[in-house]
Amino acid sequence: MNSPMKDRSNTLILFGITGDLAYKKLFPALYELTVDGIRPRVIGVARSEGNDKTIRARVREALAHHESAHVEDLVSRITYVQGDYTGSETYERLAEVVGDSEPVPVSFLAIPPALFDDVATGLAGAGLDRGRIVVEKPFGRDLGSAKELNEILHRHFPEDSIYRIDHFLGKEAVMNLLVFRFANAMLEGVWNRHHISRVTITMAESFDIAGRGGFYDEVGAIRDVVQNHLLQMIALLAMEPPIDEAADSLRVEKVKVLRAMRAGDPTRSVRGQYLGYLDEAGVAPNSQTETFVAMELFIDSWRWSGVPFAIRAGKAMAETITEAVIEFRPPPTAMFGGADKMAGSSILRFRMKPDNAITLTMQAKTPGDEMVSAPVDLSVDYGEALGGSGPDPYERLIGDALDGDARLFAHQDGVEQSWRIVDTLLDKGDPVLQYSRGGWGPPEANAISPMT
């Protein structure tokens, strides 16, 4: 997608350069940008002891299996500023390294949200609030803390300089939801409550919390993937056509969807926890943190009134699947179903994991003398059909932040509306339902979000 760019930045300040996120995700993304000819200065900031040499060695270690010439190109542009995030001298040294020639330095905060205030204040005190600031999710723990976090950032940065990064939005398959919606005009006539009976979003993972008990037990499935990833998917599916491709135009339409969505109804939600979760290291012995959630949401708009948007997300499930399923209404009378049975509904399936495929299930005549229909699938793997899977999400999003392209980043209004929707479902105190590994969650969830 093409979009007008703001001032391009050639300086990335990476707070938390010694952390796991930088090692596992950001260094590979910066390597791919290097391969593509995007070569910003990288100034790392962290509290760990070290210098340019030790940080460059860490980058080489992270990229040990990559092409050495590009790795050396990247490490040659890396500088390290060691210091405490609360100390003004850290930011004074940082400002000296950045210099006055860079008008819009981009500061990427790969650090816990509790430190955002210190870093934003330090950047402003050193005159580095002239650039952009990129913050990682989670954007708060609930509506109240999200508002507090936004107030902290807004003390020093205007909203159009705050880039809230959610790597899920940078995935090629997620971006395709937007393009598929609005690049195919034939869908517009049926993309409404008159023709669609139900929308189901699934994010099932066959793996468990994988040793992250200390983190996950403070978060849970609703905070981890529903409030951000899955509500954004619904917004992309349900939004009205934007007037153009500009960031503000896309954000306005997504926020309209979230504003129109009712707060989650606790009586139409099910929280579950896989058997064995309490044995994980770092998990409280009596934890009621959900590893599974199913819920039903409604959008009170002219287009979607009465259409349930169901969500099912969980860990230790039967398969790893991320998909959106749109169920169309069946024919109004019993035809071609055989023995007075209704023909089945048509289904449009956007699958993002394990493959990037779009499948349209329609009815066709079965062989033989009788006029009876059966479902047939029309499917395409668009990554294979169009060539490749596109850039890594972090590669795309870091590049966008350097370019000043905010279309794939979350806006304050959208973040707060998302928390409003799920706030009623957080920390309810009711016991979670146990479910076995390798299934689809508690059976009670089937009444709310049936598998399709």
Task: Give the chain's domains with CATH numbers.
Answer: 11-136 (3.40.50.720), 171-387+426-447 (3.30.360.10)
Active site includes 65?
no
pLDDT surpasses 50 at 193? yes
The Cα 34–Cα 398 span in angstroms is: 12
The pLDDT mean for the chain works out to 90
Q: Are 303 and 240 in contact (CB under 8 A)?
A: yes
Q: Of the listed 70, 156, 167, 229, which one is catalytic?
A: 229
User: How big is the chain by its Cα radius of gyration, in Å?
Assistant: 24
Question: DSSP string spanning 276-287?
Answer: TGGGSTT--TT-
- The pLDDT score that the predictor gives to residue 1 is 45
Confidence of residue 244 (pLDDT cuts 50, 70, 90): confident
User: What's the pLDDT tens digit per position in 302-350?
Assistant: 999 999 999 999 999 999 999 999 999 987 776 665 555 555 789 999 9
The Cα 236–Cα 414 span in angstroms is: 12
pLDDT surpasses 80 at 436? yes
- The pLDDT score that the predictor gives to residue 390 is 65
Considering the entire predicted model, what is its pTM?
0.89
Which residues, including other chains, have CB under 8 Å from residue 247's CB and lie 6 or more apart? 3, 405, 406, 407, 409
Nearest Cα residue to 104 out of 4, 209, 6: 6
Question: DSSP string spanning 107-152?
Answer: EEE-S-GGGHHHHHHHHHHTTGGGSEEEEESP--SSHHHHHHHHHH
The Cα 372–Cα 452 span in angstroms is: 22
Tokens 């790597």 found at? 167
